[in-house]
Amino acid sequence: MNILDKIIADKHKELVLKKLVIPISQLEQAALFERETISLAEELKTSKTGIIAEHKRRSPSKSVINQDLNVEDVARGYEDAGISGMSVLTDGKYFGGSLDDLLYARAAVKMPLLRKEFIIDEYQLLEAKAHGADVILLIAAVLEREQIKSLSEFAKSIGLEVLLEVHNEEELQKSIMPSLDMLGVNNRNLKTFEVSIEISKTLSEKIPEDFVKVSESGISSVKAIKDLQQYGYKGFLIGENFMKTNNPGKAAVEFVRELSTSP
C-alpha cells in the first residue's frame, strides 16, 4: 500500500466519525454557507502572476515544513503580496492542517481560497462551503470518472469552483468534463514523490482550452513560471517554497517582485 492508498483509507474512517458528530444540516446552517464565492478561475485568467500560495505545515514527503506560523498571518501576507489565491491544506494526520485553518484564513482575507484535501465524498464539499472555501480540489488518481462527475457537479450546485488534479494522460482523458473549471497538472508523482515540471509541459497540449491550466508542485523559481507560461499555464501552485521561510508573506512579495520585473 503506497502513501496515497493509506491516506484515502484513513479518510474513509475519518468521514464515518465526522458524519456521526456533525450532521449535514449543521453544515448547511453555518454562517458562511450562504456566502457568495469568489472565482479563482477568473482571477487566474487576468492575473499577472497566477500564483496560488499554500499554507502547509508538513507533508509525508518533507515531514515538518513549518509548524510555527499563524494561518491568519500567512493569509494576510499572501494577500498583501498580490497572490491570486490561497490553498489551505485541511488534512490533519498527514499534513497537520484542519478545517479551522480554512475558517481563520477566510476571516483574515478576501481572496479566493482553495480547500486542499483528499475529497471522496459530497460531505467534504459541504464542509468546504461551510468553512469559507471558494474552490475544491479533486484528485483524479483516487477517483473514478463517475465520482469526478458527481462530485464536481455537486460542487458547482453549491457554488464552489472545481480544480481537478491529474498526474498523467490516462487520468486527464478520464477526467475532462464540463463541470470542471481548472485542470491542474501535479508535477509530483504521488507514489514516489519525485518532482519534474516536464509533466506539465507534456500534458499542456492535451488540455482543452475551455479550462484554466494550473501547474502544481515543484515550482520554486521565476524561471519555471516563465517557462510554463509558454505552454498556456495561467495558475501556479507554490507551497513549500514560501512556507519553509520564517515569513511566507515576505517571501511571496520578493518572488512576485522578481516575477514582475523579469523579462
Residues annotated as part of the active site = 54, 56, 116, 165, 186, 216-217
Distance CA 76, CA 161 (A): 22
Q: Which helix (H) or strand (E) holds 215?
A: strand 212-216
Q: Tell me how far apart the terminal alpha carbons of the chain are, to the nearest angstrom.
A: 46
Provide the sign of the torsion angle of the four alpha carbons 161, 131, 141, 75, taken in this order: positive
Residues in the chain: 263
Residues 6+ apart with CB under 8 A from 141: 4, 165, 166, 167, 171, 190
Residue position matching grid coordinates 520564517? 246
Distance CA 43, CA 40 (A): 5
Q: How many CB atoms lie within 10 A of CB 240?
A: 18
DSSP bridge pairs for 54: 87
Question: Half-sphere exposure of 164 toward its Cβ, with a 13 Å CA cutoff?
Answer: 31
Asked if 190 contacts 141 with a C-beta cutoff of 8 angstroms, the reply is yes
Residue position matching grid coordinates 495558475? 235
